Amino acid sequence: MAFYECVLLIKSNLSDEEIASVLGKFQNLVVSREGTVHHVQKMGKRRLSYELKKERRAEYVVFFVEFQKSEGIAEFDRQARLDERIIKTMVVRKNKLVLPSSEGTGEEKSEHARPVREGEAV
């Protein structure tokens, strides 16, 4: 069992329906490869630091996924690189599942981490 954070930069000129179709495609891919999508975080459209594939802006999306076999993440990455609607992709393997907090404070919560008690050293 391995956890991954997969960042996709999707072309900004796509409609909301097309972006939803891209996200659905990759969610279905994860499920078909015996994986689990724990969270999909849409970070919105942002300006790129430098031009990529003649694009200056991109829609940032982060998938928090888990795969039983490494072939699943390899296929996810391969499909992301082949899809013309995706500008760039990055996959990072994590030791434990770390999801962004729902409050938007920038803090992260972990499914496998134990809570820290008051006065305890971190």
This prediction has a pTM of 0.77
Q: Which residue has the higher pLDDT, 113 or 93?
A: 93
Q: What is the DSSP letter of 102?
A: T
Q: Which domains does the chain have, with CATH numbers?
A: 2-49+58-94 (3.30.70.60)
Torsion angle of the four alpha carbons 6, 104, 45, 36, in this order, in degrees rounded to the nearest 10: 30
Taking residues 94-111, report their average pLDDT: 65
Taking residues 65-90, report their average pLDDT: 93
pLDDT at 1 (0 to 100):
80
| C-alpha span between 120 and 5 (Å, rounded) | 30
User: Which H helix or E strand runs over 58?
Assistant: strand 55-67
Lowest mean pLDDT among 11-15, 60-64, 67-71, 74-78: 67-71
For 121, the 3-state DSSP assignment is coil
| Residues comprising the chain, all counted | 122
Q: Which residue has the higher pLDDT, 118 or 74?
A: 74
| C-alpha span between 22 and 16 (Å, rounded) | 10
pLDDT at 117 (0 to 100):
53
